[in-house]
């Protein structure tokens, strides 16, 4: 064997072993990824419920927990969890405003961790949920504050005071928020998408409905037989409603109505009927 061949052999073996080791590691890591189910003991709720989810989707179901008839403002939260990658941690704490649940991914977070949960919430419990980009679906909740950080928000039959926000970069120069859609029976409603669209059907006339999309389209279906005070505010003359961005309002309107609708679409199409 020539000296040149000996050098090539000496250099080639470590490189080949390194490539083989990296390939095996990649295969093992990929095979370890997937969906896993994890369960925790039910959390007893006192006062309100606040949830923070580092990554993943959240489904909220109001008033459907076991023995729901026994709950009158406090109760037990039941939930099922599915996670990907590293096992998320759960921490609970009692605060002055109620019970806080925090689902977090292990540190340092490498992007391979997401937790999806289905939560049964006792009746009469106000809920605050924050996700880091996951989608939120909420049904039958009273007094809800829902923030997705860029994901979509789907609501059904929410009542009381409702705040919905999908803005991925709040107070920033760019949008990127998810969409908001569904049905509401709430009296005070605030909805902000940061660029996504809003499509809501109201079962009862709201005392105050404030909508902001930062360019997304707005579709509001309001109960008939009422008059509404409708304020359609454009961000600037260049973004005002025109032929390319029409505002269609077919509901009865009155400047003295007790039901106030404020829309700031910043150039998006607006339909209120």
Convert the pLDDT of each residue in 188-215 to its tens digit: 999 999 899 999 999 999 999 999 998 8
Mean pLDDT across 106-132: 83
Of the three residues 67, 92, 121, the one that is the final residue of a domain is 121
Same domain, 65 and 187: no
Residue 36 in this model has a pLDDT that exceeds 60: yes
Give the global pTM.
Answer: 0.81
Mean pLDDT across 117-123: 87
By CB neighbour count within 10 A (0-12 exposed, 13-18 middle, 19+ buried), where does 174 fall? exposed
Same domain, 99 and 157: no
Of the three residues 90, 121, 152, the one that is the final residue of a domain is 121
Average pLDDT value over all residues in the chain: 79
Domain range for 180 is: 133-273
**Among the residues of the chain, which ranges form H helices?**
3-32
Of the three residues 62, 87, 121, the one that is the final residue of a domain is 121
Same domain, 110 and 146: no
> Regarding predicted confidence, which is higher, 118 or 241?
118
Same domain, 65 and 151: no
Banded model confidence at residue 104, pLDDT cuts 50, 70, 90 = confident
If you search the block for the tokens 């359609």, which residue do you land on?
232
The neighbour count for residue 206, using CB atoms within 10 Å, is 23
Which among 182, 129, 123 has a CA at the least distance from the CA of 156? 182
Structure tokens at 208: 């105050």
Chain-centre distance for alpha carbon 228? 29
Count up the domains in the chain and report the number.
2
Same domain, 237 and 150: yes
Same domain, 233 and 260: yes
Same domain, 157 and 243: yes
């Amino acid at each position: 064997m020539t000296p040149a061949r000996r050098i090539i052999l000496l250099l080639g073996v470590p490189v080949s072993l390194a490539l083989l080791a990296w390939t095996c590691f990649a295969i093992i890591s990929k095979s370890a990824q997937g969906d896993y189910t994890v369960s925790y003991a039910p959390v007893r709720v006192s006062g309100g419920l606040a949830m923070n989810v580092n990554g993943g989707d959240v489904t909220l179901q109001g008033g459907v927990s076991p023995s729901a008839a026994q709950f009158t403002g406090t109760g037990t939260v039941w939930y099922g969890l599915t996670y990907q990658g590293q096992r998320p941690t759960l921490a609970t704490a009692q605060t002055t405003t109620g019970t806080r649940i925090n689902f977090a991914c292990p540190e340092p977070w490498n992007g391979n961790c997401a937790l999806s949960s289905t939560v049964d919430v006792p009746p009469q419990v106000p809920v605050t949920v924050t996700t880091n980009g996951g989608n939120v679906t909420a049904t039958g909740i009273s007094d809800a504050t829902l923030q997705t950080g860029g994901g979509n928000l789907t609501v059904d039959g929410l009542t009381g005071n409702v705040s919905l926000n999908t803005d991925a970069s709040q107070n920033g120069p760019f949008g990127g928020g998810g969409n908001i859609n569904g049905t509401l029976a709430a009296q005070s409603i605030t909805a902000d998408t940061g660029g996504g669209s809003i499509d809501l059907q109201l079962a009862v006339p709201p005392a105050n409905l404030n909508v902001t999309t930062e360019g997304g389209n707005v579709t509001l279906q309001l109960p008939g037989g009422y008059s509404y005070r409708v304020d359609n505010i454009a961000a600037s003359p260049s973004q005002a409603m025109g032929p390319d961005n029409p505002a269609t309002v077919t509901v009865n309107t009155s400047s003295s109505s007790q039901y106030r609708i404020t829309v700031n679409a910043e150039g998006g199409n607006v339909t209120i009927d």
